[in-house]
Amino acid sequence: MPSVKDVCRHVRSKNAGPFWVTFDLFFDGPENFQAYHDHPALGPDLFQRLFGADPALVRHYPVPSLHMVKISHARTSPQGGVVERDMHCGQQFVRLLDVELG
């Protein structure tokens, strides 16, 4: 069963304004993009489980020309709050790398 890091050449995360975080998954070629960009394991439930996100505020945007999917969700705590640990959300992608796409 491949994981995200097996089928992507690059994965990154970044704040998108103070209230959202966005993940970019660049797949390793068109076949992997086709096979996995809308995989259920990358659905809203994943972001609820890993980050506590409200599933209704998880958005998927496939970009076929770049073989990538952008996934954005509302942060559970706004940037810079009491429990902030990653102001730019730049390390959040790491938790996606081992997600299995069975």
Provide the binding-site residues for another protein, judged by CB under 8 A: 14-20, 22, 24, 50, 54, 57, 59, 61, 63, 65-66, 68, 70, 72, 74-75, 78-83, 85-88, 91-92, 94-95
- Give the Cα separation of 51 and 76 in Å (integer): 8
| Nearest distance in Å: CB 50, another protein | 8
CB of 61 to another protein, least distance (A): 5
| Minimum CB distance to another protein, residue 67 (Å) | 10
Q: In angstroms, rounded to a whole number, what is the distance separating the alpha carbons of residues 2 and 81?
A: 36
CA gap 12, 83 in Å, rounded:
22
Residue among 31 and 98 whose Cβ is closer to another protein:
98
Q: Cα-flanking dihedrals φ and ψ of residue 36, to 5°?
A: -125, -10
Shortest Å distance, C-beta 16 to another protein: 4
Task: Give me the helices (H) in the chain, please.
Answer: 4-7, 30-36, 44-51
Contact 75, 21 (CB under 8 A): yes
With respect to another protein, which residue has the nearer C-beta, 24 or 46? 24
